Amino acid sequence: MLAFFMSVLWCLLFTFHDGLSSPAMVKPTTRPIYSQRPFGFVDQRLTIFYKERLGYYPYYNKNNVPFYDSVPQNASISIHLRWMQEALKKYINKMGDEEGLAVNWEEWRPIWLKNWHNKDVYRQFLWNLVAAHHPAWPLEDVNKQAQFEFETAAHNFMEQTLQHARSARPHQLWCVYLFFNFYNHDYMQNWERYTWNTALFRSIYLIQTLESSSQGRMFVHFQVKEAMRIANKHHKDYTLPVYVYSRPTYMKIMDTLSQMDLVSSIGKCAAQRASRVIFWGDVECAENVKSCLKVKSYLEGSFGEYIVNVTTAAGFCSRFLCNRKSQYKHNSNTGTIHSDTGVTIGVAGDAVAPGPRSLRGP
């Protein structure tokens, strides 16, 4: 049971607004879920590149032991890109398929001030390096130079990585997973520097204190709203697809999302026109038979039923009514989401509102 669960449920991905061009509406008989297998598998609908899977990523481990030259200033871009090419050949064989590819590098941030707590080792290393090269400089100048050198090298490392990735696999959707954590504070002033993403990934993980609350709904709303705002401004000619990360449980516990929070998370993402939602399940979901069966029951029950409801409603509206231009509003009293074209996205089991008479059955 555990082996099966870990191989099938590493993450779940389902689509709201992708590929909605079919001329006829077919009643779904299965849940629109794709499963992501463990990291050794290739050609997945979603591929996540961690630090050891893509190129020559410099970092310190938890014991402050340096790997691959430790900081971006020391790393060889040419060696990194050469190793990266091998990884792309290994994990992405299908050149023409459109898949989501997330670069999940979390060991350091390209923004100097965001390397705090256990990431302060990078700042300390650079500060000592600059101070050694310029022993007569005052502390203020050392700090400024260390920050400048680190951010310049870090940004160049990220940019070169994504540019090479896009060149090698142009049909895939690439994004640095923690893009918002890196650049949200100065994005609008410097947006032209960060146009190498071809998709955006945003997380909406809920903590238990937000369970079944309006605060949880508002948290999701503004997380996705910010992602959609940047997606619309990223390029003047088109909007980037937004992938939203969520969990079938609340953070750090095994309690599954309530019915209200399914609407607040999945329904909100559909209403705000996110492209896909990725439900992430870690090893805690399969640490024993009991937890495995609990999540399995949830996925096959209210969770799966709500996915059918929300994707059917969103697909119906996109295909037949709003031509992908509808606006949605959430009704906090009924727990439903309504479009201005009459489609209702409700709780599990609710019927989708009927469309125009010409689209109805006899």
**Alpha carbon of 358 to those of 152, 229, 333, 345, 353: distances in Å?**
59, 35, 32, 21, 14
Contact 285, 279 (CB under 8 A): no
Asked about 107 being catalytic, the answer comes back as no
**Residue 257 buriedness (CB in 10 A; 0-12 / 13-18 / 19+):** buried
52, 86, 106, 287: which is the annotated catalytic residue? 106
* Catalytic positions: 106
